[in-house]
């Protein structure tokens, strides 16, 4: 995963609803749509478990001002933020798929599954707003994220689990900070509202990853 014109069709924020991960693992959220257009329903959360649940730029040529707007009405900074979310989502989907294939730990496999599902759902919900802002969905993760994925493809078992949890924790922590910043810096009101609503949810999501890492005695690097 590398602020405003009003788009009436997207006045409400994106919401994450809780869904269980596995037995003794803290639950991860599903992303739920909250668009104003008729017929737009929210995603249904997964069945609850006995465990606690969690509620859940690209480069800019000529260094434009964050508030500079494009011909389509979106600010360059807002467009960069949405584009970076798409890249991060693609990375997390691929990482989640790897976790399901390579991990031998049920909780890590389930974490990967829910992460992939949540990020794919977030892409679907952001796409209409991205279309209004003329932001194209990237075909692949960023170069840095592709390198992380390539490294994980060479690992398996406990070694994979350790590296996967470190990567997910680091990338999700960056997403939390980006959402927190966009919640005040976004020039588009609906995007600002979405970022404000989702920042604390992503922070809770981060705690879930940290709990799983603790279960596996994985020390997460602090930044």
Phi, psi of 62 (to 5 degrees): 60, 20
Q: State how far the alpha carbon of 111 is from the alpha carbons of 93, 100, 124, 144, 150, in Å.
A: 11, 9, 20, 22, 19
pTM of the predicted model over 0.85: no
The overall average pLDDT reported for the chain is 74
Per-residue pLDDT tens over the stretch 80-139: 999 999 999 999 999 999 999 999 999 999 999 988 888 888 788 788 889 989 999 999
Averaged pLDDT for residues 213-220: 93
Can you say how many angstroms the Cα of residue 30 is from the centroid of all Cα atoms in its chain? 11
Q: Return d(Cα 143, Cα 162) in angstroms, integer.
A: 22
Which band of pLDDT confidence, cut at 50, 70 and 90, is reported for residue 20? very low
If pLDDT is split at 50, 70 and 90, which confidence band does 28 have? low
**What was the pLDDT predicted at 40?**
41
pLDDT of the residue at 42: 41
* pLDDT of 48 higher than 80: no
pLDDT, position 176: 92
Q: Can you give the pLDDT at residue 129?
A: 81
CA distance 147 to 142: 9
pLDDT class for 23, splitting at 50, 70, 90?
A: very low
104 versus 74: the higher-pLDDT residue is 104
Q: How many residues does the chain have?
A: 223
> In the prediction, which pLDDT does 10 show?
39
């Amino acid at each position: 995963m590398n602020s405003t014109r009003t788009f009436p069709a997207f006045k409400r924020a994106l919401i994450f609803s809780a869904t269980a991960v596995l037995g003794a693992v803290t639950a991860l959220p599903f992303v739920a749509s909250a668009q104003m257009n008729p017929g737009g329903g929210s995603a249904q959360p997964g069945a609850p478990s006995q465990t606690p649940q969690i509620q859940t730029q690209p480069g800019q040529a000529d260094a434009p001002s964050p508030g500079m707007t494009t011909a389509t009405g979106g600010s360059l900074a807002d467009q960069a933020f949405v584009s970076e979310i798409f890249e991060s989502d693609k990375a997390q989907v691929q990482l989640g798929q790897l976790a399901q294939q390579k991990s031998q730990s049920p909780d890590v496999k389930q974490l990967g599954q829910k992460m992939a599902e949540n990020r794919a759902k977030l892409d679907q919900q952001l796409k209409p707003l991205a279309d209004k802002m003329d932001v194209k969905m990237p075909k692949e993760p960023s170069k840095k994220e592709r390198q992380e994925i390539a490294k994980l493809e060479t690992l398996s078992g406990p070694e994979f689990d350790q590296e996967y949890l470190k990567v997910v924790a680091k990338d999700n922590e960056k997403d939390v900070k980006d959402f927190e910043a966009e919640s005040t810096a976004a020039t588009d009101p609906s995007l600002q509202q979405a970022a404000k609503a989702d920042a604390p949810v992503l922070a809770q999501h981060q705690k879930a990853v940290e709990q799983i890492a603790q279960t596996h005695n994985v020390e997460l690097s602090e930044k």
